[in-house]
Amino acid sequence: MNDHNLERPRLPEPISGLWEIAMNLSWRWNPRARYLFRRLDRPLWHRTRHNPVAILQRVDPGRLARLAEDADFRRLHDEVLATCRREESREGTWMAAEHPEFGDRPVAYFCAEFGLHNSVPIYSGGLGVLAGDHCKAASDLGVPLVGVGLLYVKGYFDQTIRLDGWQEDMEAAFDPASTPLVPVPGPDGGRVVARLEVNGHDLAIGAWKLRVGRVPIYLLDTELEENRPEDRQLASRLYPGGRLERLQQEWILGAGGVRVLRAVGVDPAAWHANEGHAAFMLLERVRERMERGSTWEEAVERVRATSVFTTHTPVPAGHDIFPLEQVEACATRLLDTPGMSPARLAELGRGLEGPGGFHMTALAIRLSGGLNGVSETHGRVTRRMWHPLWPGRSVEDVPVGHITNGVHLSTWMSHSLMEFLDGHLGAGWVHRLADPALWDAVRGLDDEGLWRVHKRRKETLLAFVREQARHRWAEHWGDSGHLVGAGTLLSPDALTIGFARRFAEYKRADLLFRDADRLRRLVTDPRRPVQVVFAGKAHPADDQGKRILQRVYEAARDPGFEGRIAFLEDYELHMAHRLVQGVDLWLNLPRPPLEACGTSGMKAALNAVPQLGTCDGWWAEGYEGSNGWQIPLAPDEEDVDAWDARHLYELLEERVVPLYYEGEHHAAPRGWVAVMKEALRVGGSRFTARRMVREYVSDYYIPARRGTPDGLPVEAG
pLDDT digits (tens, 9 = 90+) for 253-291: 999 999 999 999 999 999 999 999 999 999 999 999 999
Give the pLDDT score at 170: 72
Dist CA 629 CA 627 (whole Å): 7
CB atoms within 10 A of CB 636: 6
What is 94-405+695-706's CATH number, 3.40.50.2000, 3.30.1490.150, 1.10.10.10, 3.40.50.720? 3.40.50.2000
Write out pLDDT tens, residues 182-229.
Answer: 999 998 888 899 999 998 899 999 999 999 999 999 999 999 999 999
Domain-by-domain residue ranges, the chain? 3-86, 94-405+695-706, 409-687
Dist CA 103 CA 702 (whole Å): 11
Say if residues 303 and 289 touch (Cβ distance below 8 Å).
yes
Indicate the burial class of 98 (C-beta count within 10 angstroms; 0-12, 13-18, 19 or more): middle
Q: Which of 359-368, 393-402, 533-542, 628-637 has the lowest mean pLDDT?
A: 533-542
Query: DSSP 3-state assignment of 104?
Result: coil
- Decide which of 148 and 126 is more confident: 148
Nearest to 358 by CA among 333, 331, 390, 391: 331
Dist CA 369 CA 491 (whole Å): 53
CA dihedral 259, 261, 262, 265 (to 10 degrees): 160
Say if residues 527 and 493 touch (Cβ distance below 8 Å).
no
* Residue 497, φ and ψ in degrees, nearest 5: -105, 140
Domains 94-405+695-706 and 409-687 share a fold: yes
Dist CA 627 CA 685 (whole Å): 13
What is 409-687's CATH number, 3.40.50.2000, 3.30.1180.10, 2.115.10.20, 3.90.120.10? 3.40.50.2000
Q: What is the mean pLDDT of the chain?
A: 92
Peptide bond into 9 cis (omega under 30): no
Can you say whether residue 625 is alpha, beta or left, with left for phi > 0 and alpha for psi between -120 and 50 degrees? left
Give the pLDDT score at 289: 95
Residue 715 predicted with pLDDT over 50: no
Report the Cα–Cα distance between both ends of the chain, in Å, rounded: 44
Give the pLDDT score at 665: 60
Give the pLDDT score at 156: 61
Give the pLDDT score at 479: 63
Give the pLDDT score at 478: 60
Give the pLDDT score at 316: 76
Q: Looking at the DSSP assignment, which residues form a beta bridge with residue 531? A: 496
Q: Looking at the DSSP assignment, which residues form a beta bridge with residue 160? A: 168
Q: What is the mean pLDDT of residues 517-532?
A: 96
Residue 169 predicted with pLDDT over 90: no
Give the pLDDT score at 709: 57
Write out pLDDT tens, residues 17-29.
Answer: 999 999 999 999 9
Query: DSSP 3-state assignment of 703?
Result: helix
* Residue 358, φ and ψ in degrees, nearest 5: -115, 110
* Residue 538, φ and ψ in degrees, nearest 5: -90, 145
Give the pLDDT score at 666: 67
Nearest to 32 by CA among 69, 81, 88: 81
Q: How many CA atoms lie within 13 A of 332 on its CB side?
A: 8
Nearest to 607 by CA among 414, 331, 390, 431: 414
Give the pLDDT score at 334: 87
Indicate the burial class of 352 (C-beta count within 10 angstroms; 0-12, 13-18, 19 or more): middle
Write out pLDDT tens, residues 482-492.
Answer: 777 888 889 99
- Decide which of 646 and 469 is more confident: 646
Dist CA 154 CA 172 (whole Å): 6
What percentage of the chain has pLDDT greater than the value 70? 95
CB atoms within 10 A of CB 638: 12
- 480: confidence class by pLDDT, cuts 50, 70, 90: low
Residue 714 predicted with pLDDT over 60: no
Say if residues 297 and 366 touch (Cβ distance below 8 Å).
no
- 348: confidence class by pLDDT, cuts 50, 70, 90: very high
* Residue 55, φ and ψ in degrees, nearest 5: -65, -50
Residues 6+ apart with CB under 8 A from 233: 154, 222, 223
Q: Which of 130-139, 157-166, 198-207, 634-643 has the lowest mean pLDDT?
A: 157-166
- 711: confidence class by pLDDT, cuts 50, 70, 90: very low
- 142: confidence class by pLDDT, cuts 50, 70, 90: very high
Give the pLDDT score at 2: 37
CA dist 608 to 490, 604, 620, 673, Å? 21, 7, 19, 9
pTM of the model: 0.95
CB atoms within 10 A of CB 62: 8
Dist CA 417 CA 454 (whole Å): 8
What percentage of the chain has pLDDT greater than the value 90? 79
- Decide which of 313 and 62 is more confident: 62
Dist CA 219 CA 217 (whole Å): 6
Dist CA 652 CA 511 (whole Å): 13
